[in-house]
């Protein structure tokens, strides 16, 4: 796909004016905190492929792809055509659809561990359902999760999501820290927090609750922790522990399903009992899914008596998301996965060269088609190593603002890139050049961090 022509301004209102208008009816003027940029957010007007244009007519290369959800970029013709055809037939019914069955078959045939699957409406819902299914299957209430990991907005899943040196406690037994003021103490008591990728400490912590844990929740390449993969040693240790103590090992692959053809779990010796999915499997539309072992998934079978977990949702498995997702994942075949991952590795290599030329303390971590910048020479190996101070956060924001405003590029607000198949080597070259320029300009600020 060639570079689209720069769009001219088509709206009679600026982003600043629209934001002021929004603040009168929306708390903070936005419904997603992640899209805010001081002093006001930019407002999208249109997008195609890997380019997005705002209402002022400014066109940017999109390396964020709606927080990793658009694996083929914006408005892929095959997806658009299939969705238009389905919209003409209806968008949602109080009936099941063949589209749901066909998509379920596609995903279950793709991943051996997906014996059964249920669709919901978001990654948050998928993780929530996975936790509830684990409790229903085991009869236990506690869950365990990694410090710093993001798993959506369910009370239990968000514990210690943003823990800091002021409250995270000893690494031998991290504190369960609430995200939202007023979180019930009972929620905190039922969430056991462990240090990601530290097998010895994690097993020691889990042993203290060996007969109480329903599931151990793992993002195999956790974005918020630092976007580096879990080691095989770490996953193996947790898997063996769950076999010994009757708990489930469950993966949050809402983001990481893009890492390999069968998700990040393809890279490990043992497989999760359940997996939560979302983002790319919706083809640009809201979606989530829960997949895994038949016996565990059976807790949601409404034909069972008694039914252990009743799961429903007005828009779950709606034919629009099913149709878009089916086309998207058919297109994201093994060749597409390999090509995109190779392009991402090329980008990381060229950015690494830019970092060396700029001579700044920056490193890059990542997996598959995603990577993240860190303001330190050595790539971090834990949440506490990757944790950014206030000054570091300000500097990474300055770097991202420069890319956004001066270089016309959109990255994830953590300093991450989530590639799409719409990107080419041309956009990768532009990114590497922009990174080099930005790092050189900000080098004096980097030196102040030392």
Q: Is 150 a catalytic residue?
A: yes
DSSP 3-state percent helix, strand, coil across the chain (nearest 5): 40, 15, 45
Q: In angstroms, rounded to a whole number, what is the distance separating the alpha carbons of residues 354 and 369? A: 19
Q: Is 93 a catalytic residue?
A: no
Q: Is 252 a catalytic residue?
A: yes
386 and 225 Cβ atoms separated by less than 8 Å: yes
Query: Two tokens at 71?
Result: 């694996």
Which phi and psi (to 5°) does residue 186 adopt? -60, -35
63 and 417 Cβ atoms separated by less than 8 Å: yes
Query: Two tokens at 445?
Result: 């600020």
All residues at 6 or more sequence positions from 293 whose CB lies less than 8 Å from its CB, including other chains: 113, 115, 116, 273, 274
Q: In angstroms, rounded to a whole number, what is the distance separating the alpha carbons of residues 442 and 400? A: 11
340 and 419 Cβ atoms separated by less than 8 Å: yes
| Catalytic residue selected from 150, 268, 309, 383 | 150
| Catalytic residue selected from 116, 145, 271, 279 | 279
319 and 91 Cβ atoms separated by less than 8 Å: yes
Q: In angstroms, rounded to a whole number, what is the distance separating the alpha carbons of residues 394 and 396? A: 6
233 and 199 Cβ atoms separated by less than 8 Å: yes
| Catalytic residue selected from 252, 271, 273, 383 | 252
Active site residues: 150, 252, 279
């Amino acid at each position: 796909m060639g570079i689209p022509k720069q769009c001219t301004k088509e709206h009679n209102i600026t982003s600043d004016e629209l934001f002021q208008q929004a603040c009168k009816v929306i708390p903070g003027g936005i419904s997603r905190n992640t899209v805010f940029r001081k002093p006001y957010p930019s407002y999208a007007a249109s997008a195609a492929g890997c380019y997005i244009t705002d209402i002022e007519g400014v066109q940017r290369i999109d390396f964020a792809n709606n927080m990793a959800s658009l694996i083929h970029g914006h408005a892929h013709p095959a997806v658009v055509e299939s969705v238009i055809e389905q919209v003409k037939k209806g968008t949602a019914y109080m009936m099941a659809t063949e589209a749901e069955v066909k998509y379920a078959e596609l995903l279950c045939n793709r991943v051996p561990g997906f014996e059964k699957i249920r669709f919901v409406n978001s990654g948050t819902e998928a993780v929530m359902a996975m936790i509830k299914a684990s409790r229903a299957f085991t009869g236990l209430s506690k869950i365990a999760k990694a410090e710093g990991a993001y798993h959506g907005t369910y009370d239990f899943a968000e514990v210690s999501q943003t823990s800091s040196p002021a409250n995270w406690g000893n690494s031998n037994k991290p504190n369960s820290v609430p995200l939202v003021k007023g979180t019930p103490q009972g929620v905190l008591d039922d969430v056991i927090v462990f240090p990601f990728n530290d097998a010895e400490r994690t097993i020691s912590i889990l042993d203290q609750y060996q007969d109480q844990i329903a599931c151990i929740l793992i993002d195999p390449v956790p974005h918020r922790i630092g976007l580096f993969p879990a080691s095989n040693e770490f996953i193996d240790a947790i898997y063996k522990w769950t076999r010994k103590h009757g708990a489930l090992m469950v993966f949050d692959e809402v983001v990481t399903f893009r890492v390999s053809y069968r998700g990040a779990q393809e890279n490990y010796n043992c497989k999760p009992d359940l997996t939560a999915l979302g983002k790319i499997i919706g083809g640009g539309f809201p979606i989530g899914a829960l997949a895994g072992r038949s016996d565990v998934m059976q807790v949601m079978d409404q034909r069972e008596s008694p039914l252990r977990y009743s799961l429903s949702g007005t828009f779950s498995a709606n034919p629009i998301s099913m149709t878009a997702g089916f086309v998207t994942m058919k297109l994201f075949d093994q060749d597409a996965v390999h090509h995109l991952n190779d392009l991402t590795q090329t980008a990381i290599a060229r950015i690494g060269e830019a970092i060396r030329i700029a001579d700044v303390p920056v490193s890059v971590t990542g997996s598959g088609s995603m990577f993240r910048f860190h303001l330190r020479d050595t790539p971090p190996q834990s949440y506490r190593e990757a944790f950014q101070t206030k000054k570091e956060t300000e500097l990474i924001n300055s770097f991202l603002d420069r890319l956004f405003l001066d270089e016309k590029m959109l990255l994830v607000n953590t300093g991450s890139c989530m590639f799409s198949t719409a990107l080419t080597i041309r956009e990768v070259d532009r990114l590497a050049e922009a990174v080099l320029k930005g790092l050189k300009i900000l080098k004096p600020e980097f030196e102040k961090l030392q």
